[in-house]
Amino acid sequence: MEDEGLATRGGLLASKLKEVLLTASSREEGMRRAVEAIRDSNPLYHWAGIYLLEGDELVLAHEVGKPTPHRRISLDKGICGAAAREGRTIIVDDVNADPRYLACSLETRSEIVVPMVSHGRTLGEIDIDSDRPAAFDSSDGAALEEASLVISEFIEQSAWSVPGLGAAVARRRSPGREA
Ligand code: SME
């Protein structure tokens, strides 16, 4: 039963993302729509953002919530840097107890960072903060990892196809295949 619940939750967010990304006309619009859909998927997600990897820096593509001062994060800094370097999801129950933490808002108590990886290459990451301690568990990790696959596919597409982006994504999907 619990597994079914987890699968449904991840599936719902992934479906929502596919829907909103399909008609995005630019990478910027796609990042904005994706961040909004992620933030809206859970009332405990108080700040959500997507960072894209440029060289050895994570660059904020879009955020929803109180603006963060950390618009560019070096890979050797922060929880964000650690997740990208290690290529794995990091959940921090109490950000103030983690020496890696780069403070964004004083209200933030917990954080999850999920890398977006495609063909072994890290493209960036999804970062979410909550004002509630220990707001994230493995079900958030599973749902957001599924979401990260959808966003990664969009980013790969948008790298070489900007006009008609949605159509290009649609063409790549064969009928009946729920990617
Ligand atoms: N807390 C992050 C920095 C980004 S802000 O949360 C938006 C970190 O420690 O890397």
Would you say residue 87 lies in a domain? yes
Would you say residue 162 lies in a domain? yes
pLDDT attached to residue 48: 98
Q: Are 150 and 14 in contact (CB under 8 A)?
A: yes
**Which residues form the domain of 157?**
2-172
Provide mean pLDDT across the span 162-177: 44
Would you say residue 104 lies in a domain? yes
Ligand 1 geometric centre to CA of 42 (Å):
19
pLDDT attached to residue 9: 72
> What CATH number should be reported for the domain holding residue 141?
3.30.450.40
Task: Tell which atom from ligand 1 comes closest to the C-alpha of 78.
Answer: 10
Ligand 1 geometric centre to CA of 20 (Å):
26
Tens-place pLDDT, residues 86-128 = 999 999 999 999 999 999 899 999 999 999 999 889 999 999 9
Would you say residue 145 lies in a domain? yes
Would you say residue 178 lies in a domain? no
Would you say residue 82 lies in a domain? yes
Would you say residue 179 lies in a domain? no
pLDDT attached to residue 33: 98
Provide mean pLDDT across the span 27-53: 97
Would you say residue 110 lies in a domain? yes
Following DSSP, what letter does each residue of 67-105 receive, concatenated?
PPS-SEEETTSHHHHHHHHHTS-EEES-GGG-TTPPP--
Task: Tell which atom from ligand 1 comes closest to the C-alpha of 98.
Answer: 9
Number of domains in the chain: 1
Query: Cβ < 6 Å from ligand 1: which residues?
Result: 49, 68, 70, 73, 78-80, 101-102, 104, 111, 127, 129
